[in-house]
Chains A and B, each alone.
Chain A
Amino acid sequence: MNARDAILSSIRAAAVPPSAAAALVVPAGSTSDPLDQFLQALASVGGHGIVRRADQTIGSMVAALFGGDQGTVVVVPGRFAVAENGAVYVDAADLDARADIVRAEHLVLVVPSAALVATMHEAVRLMPRDSACGWFLSGPSKTADIEQSLVVGAQGARTLHVIFDTG
């Protein structure tokens, strides 16, 4: 018997009793102000959230953030944001290369401000069904592997900005 069949038949022989699927969790105290919750969550994980004003463009905002030193900045669209954890979903279909997401020294994610959900329960339902690769990105790269001291910019992006695009 090959390994695949041996493993599958061993699993079936274990005869684990069927068990119902998990009930959907309904978050109890959903926030009245998801944008504020998102911005707080993002700040707590070391990211920066900004809402675009009518007199600003994404280009002018990035220029204001990084000045002339934009060679290491990557601006990518985020599909939607998650209020509870400051995460933004980015799909590889919207990138030139998947590695951009981690090779960039500075990452700017531009998210339509209407695309904000409360929790991961809603978020996974918005993931594109045909996605080859996608990420929930919550703040910049970080590590606490040296004496639990938080160091931002471990291996991936050193800074992460989320711009809510009201346009």
Chain B
Amino acid sequence: MSRTHPEAAATFLRDSERAAWHDEALWFVRQKRDTATALPEWEALRDAGAALKAHAMGRLAELLETFEARATAAGVTVHWARDADEHNALVLDILQGAGATRVAKSKSMLTEECGLNPVLEANGIEVVDTDLGERIVQLAHEPPSHIVLPAIHWKKEEIGALFHRTMGTPAGESSPDALAAAARDHLRDALLHADAAITGANALVAETGGVVVCTNEGNADLGMHSAPLHIVCVGIEKVLATLDDLAVLLRILARSATGQPITAYTTHVTAPRPGARMHVVLVDNGRSARLADAEMRSALHCIRCGACLNTCPIYRRSGGHSYGHVIPGPIGAILAPAVDLKLHRDLPFASTLCGSCGDVCPVRIDIPAQLLAWRARSAAAGASPAGYATIFNRLGWILADRRRFDRAGRWVRRALRLIPSALLAGRWNPWTRAGRELPLAPRESFREWARREGRLK
């Protein structure tokens, strides 16, 4: 690992003004979500969301086969990819077979996960990410910092400077209206003249063989209905059984993501348009292995709404890039360790276990429980930093016995009052190193106070 989450977060927090702005921007989205989810049947919708995903996982192989059969019958070519390399090679092969050199891509976390863009570019194919936020981070040679709001960490003045350099907008122009207007021309040009469109999918529907894509900008539709070739890259966990399930998904997805009742564009496509070709690449990349892990299985239910990111006090104050994984935030912190526990062993600790992520999850993934379970696995695998095992074993020994606990408490309270604060706030102390003060230790414990007051027998 290049940097641990606390190290990367410390860098992010160095600019405290920006960190506070980032925090507020995301809390604003969280509040919009609260307003949009104030429906009498909201909790019933969450129950249904959890149930329809569990149902689909229980029938996953069968649903994928049904989807494949229906899509194939409608003239779609369906491919299967075991891992990222296989996925990238398949997409490259389809593009090269069609002689495509200009690709317009709409939002897809899966292609980020697989690292598709560098592979295509290395083979002489130009890729334009057409979601505005994704285009901003692509022009800046950065990964997205959020799964729904890829450029949430960018200020409009910085976007203005970036567009001035890359698109020739007037210097100093930073109004969102003007910048979005410039991007409209730039992106429509790429979308309408692409040889191929690549999109992700928010869902596949086994009942119809349909691919469902949700956007607000309309970029996915501009691409897929203009280019002669449309490639859908999608994880196998995205398949739903029925349109009834899709209704629930569409009711919870945008409300949780951005506080909208539904996205501006919700496209259900089952067949290529006449004269065009459509491919769907179904990608495993570790998902089927995770399915066998009963304790962590439900992380696959994630619909990528981002609500857990927006609400998380750690994510909001550390930024998406501090996680070092394609999916940041609480959901990323339980997905990443399954990919590589050693590499991402710090992520399950990037949480206060406050539980807010679980409370807002529209499909009721128990993220806090899985964060805790990953901490246990991280420790069991010996992936904890040196000394952790000794410290926690000793702590456990103290906490297991009341007299030891009382005695330790007395010593520590006394020590904290006696040791000079300059010594306590040394570089060795991660608490004070982050700019926090140690609270003054009380003279007595609650139990001692109660005894002194005669309230304890």
| A residues whose Cβ falls under 8 Å from a Cβ of B | 2-4, 6-8, 10-29, 41, 44-45, 82, 84-87, 92, 97-99, 101-103, 119-121, 123-125, 127, 129, 131-149, 151, 153-157
Asked whether B273 lies within 8 Å of A149 as measured between CB atoms, the reply is: no
Answer whether residue B268 sits at the interface, using C-beta atoms and an 8 A cutoff.
yes
Answer whether residue B149 sits at the interface, using C-beta atoms and an 8 A cutoff.
yes
Which interface residue of A8, A125, A144, A146 has the most chain B CB atoms within 10 A?
A146
How distant is the Cα of A80 from the Cα of B221 in the complex, in angstroms?
A: 20
Complex interface: chain B residues within 8 A of A4 (CB): 80
Complex interface: chain A residues within 8 A of B192 (CB): 103
How distant is the Cα of A119 from the Cα of B248 in the complex, in angstroms?
A: 10
A103-B222, A123-B247 known; A25-B266 Cβ under 8 A: no
- Name A46's closest neighbour in chain B (CB-CB): B264
22 A-B residue pairings within 8 Å (CB atoms): A7-B284, A10-B284, A11-B60, A11-B64, A14-B289, A16-B58, A20-B51, A22-B51, A98-B221, A99-B225, A102-B225, A119-B251, A125-B243, A141-B264, A143-B132, A146-B179, A147-B156, A148-B29, A151-B176, A151-B180, A156-B217, A156-B218
Complex interface: chain A residues within 8 A of B246 (CB): 124
- Distance (Å) between the CB of A88 and the closest chain B CB? 11
- Which of B109-117, B183-191, B397-405, B434-442 makes up part of the contact surface? B183-191
A8-B64, A127-B243 known; A155-B262 Cβ under 8 A: no
- Name B130's closest neighbour in chain A (CB-CB): A155
Complex interface: chain B residues within 8 A of A147 (CB): 25, 154-156, 176
Asked whether A145 lies within 8 Å of B150 as measured between CB atoms, the reply is: yes
A10-B289, A120-B251, A123-B247 known; A41-B156 Cβ under 8 A: no
How distant is the Cα of A85 from the Cα of B79 in the complex, in angstroms?
A: 35
A19-B55, A138-B263, A147-B176 known; A28-B156 Cβ under 8 A: no
| Known A27-B39, A124-B247; further 12 A-B contacts with Cβ < 8 A | A11-B60, A23-B48, A25-B248, A84-B261, A102-B225, A124-B244, A133-B268, A136-B250, A145-B133, A146-B132, A148-B29, A156-B265
- Distance (Å) between the CB of A117 and the closest chain B CB? 11
- Name B269's closest neighbour in chain A (CB-CB): A133
Within 8 A of A (CB), among B181-218: 181, 183-184, 187-188, 191-192, 208, 216-218
Complex interface: chain A residues within 8 A of B60 (CB): 11, 16
How distant is the Cα of A59 from the Cα of B225 in the complex, in angstroms?
A: 27
Interface of chain B: mostly helix, strand, loop or mixed: helix
How distant is the Cα of A86 from the Cα of B19 in the complex, in angstroms?
A: 36
Sorting the interface of chain B by its residue count into under 10, 10 to 19, 20 to 34 or 35 or more gives: 35 or more
Asked whether A22 lies within 8 Å of B270 as measured between CB atoms, the reply is: no
How distant is the Cα of A14 from the Cα of B237 in the complex, in angstroms?
A: 13
Asked whether A25 lies within 8 Å of B48 as measured between CB atoms, the reply is: yes
Asked whether B81 lies within 8 Å of A121 as measured between CB atoms, the reply is: no
Asked whether B52 lies within 8 Å of A138 as measured between CB atoms, the reply is: no
Complex interface: chain B residues within 8 A of A155 (CB): 130, 132, 184, 187-188, 191, 217-219, 222
Asked whether A21 lies within 8 Å of B264 as measured between CB atoms, the reply is: no
- Distance (Å) between the CB of A47 and the closest chain B CB? 9
B19-43 vs A, CB cutoff 8 Å, 1 = contact: the mask equals: 0000001001100000000011100
Answer whether residue B408 sits at the interface, using C-beta atoms and an 8 A cutoff.
no
How distant is the Cα of A48 from the Cα of B453 in the complex, in angstroms?
A: 69
Within 8 A of A (CB), among B210-250: 216-219, 221-222, 225-226, 236, 241-248, 250
Asked whether A22 lies within 8 Å of B55 as measured between CB atoms, the reply is: yes
Asked whether A3 lies within 8 Å of B270 as measured between CB atoms, the reply is: no
How distant is the Cα of A18 from the Cα of B261 in the complex, in angstroms?
A: 31
